[in-house]
Amino acid sequence: MTDDVIPLPIDSRRKVRFEDLGKMDYKACWDYQEKLFDSIASRKLEHRLHPDQVVPNDNNYLLLVEHPHVYTLGKSGDQAHLLLSEEQLKAVDASYYPINRGGDITYHGPGQIVGYPIFDLELYFTDIHKYLRYLEEAIILTLAEYDIQAGRISGLTGVWLDEEHPLKARKIAALGVKCSRWVTMHGFAFNVQPNLQYFGNIIPCGITDKTVTSMEKELGKTVDFEEVKEKLKGHIQHLFGFEWN
């Protein structure tokens, strides 16, 4: 565990509802995220406008999901990093969405754990960079349970293997978030056992000199997908110091 990522003590004010959404269409899941995000942000605004009134404290949420093949482009991304035309997207059975998170282009698909924490960071810490480091740490700790050593590359978001060797470095998890009124949405994509060929259709996160990998590729075997999810959930809870609701 890195020095700047220290598990927060459990705080009973932090209540998180976990939802395993299984396999879900990207747009439907995005709409669901927006609904939960808006409910928390609206409640916070109402409390600020009427501080004398008791406003119910909404749950925070952790959503885990698998998406059908989809490419998403962050608001600061370059559409040229998608290397497929509309016809080619249809040929590989993939969809494409420009979305309202940070970061560049990424891929989601079967065999990948996609996580969407919808957290009110004012209950944790008001530092978006620190928030990203905590999400990365949860994935790093999960990988360590499978004897996969992972870390970070300075200046690049995400989780990497052989991060100290530029010619060998490869990404195993990507992050991209939105934060407004200190409420978060979007999150991370963790490559457990996706079809890595789909990453060949993009310049992942706009990075041209690094490759992408998965747990399956590194271990040379498939892993128990549900087991990985459970371990990841546990590390997220431990690091952020919340109670399940």
Reported as a single tens digit per residue, the pLDDT across 135-153 is: 999 999 999 999 999 999 9
Specify the number of domains making up the chain. Answer: 1
Q: What is the pTM of this model?
A: 0.94
Q: Quote the pLDDT of residue 192.
A: 98
With tokens 């999960």, the residue in question is 142
Quote the pLDDT of residue 55. 53
The pLDDT value given to residue 125: 97
Distances (CA, A) of 243 to 9, 236, 240: 11, 11, 9
Given the residues 41, 205, 212, 239, select the one marked as catalytic. 205
**Does some domain include residue 8?**
no
The CATH number covering residue 142 comes to: 3.30.930.10
pLDDT at 43: 86
pLDDT for the residue 207: 80
Enumerate residue ranges in the chain where pLDDT < 70: 1-3, 53-58
**Distances in Å between the alpha carbon of 57 and those of 14, 122, 131, 242?**
10, 12, 21, 14
Instruction: Establish whether 205 is a catalytic residue.
Output: yes
Domain assignment present for 9? no
How many Å apart are CA 214 and CA 170, to the nearest integer? 9
Q: Which domain holds residue 219?
A: 15-239
Specify the pLDDT at position 44: 85
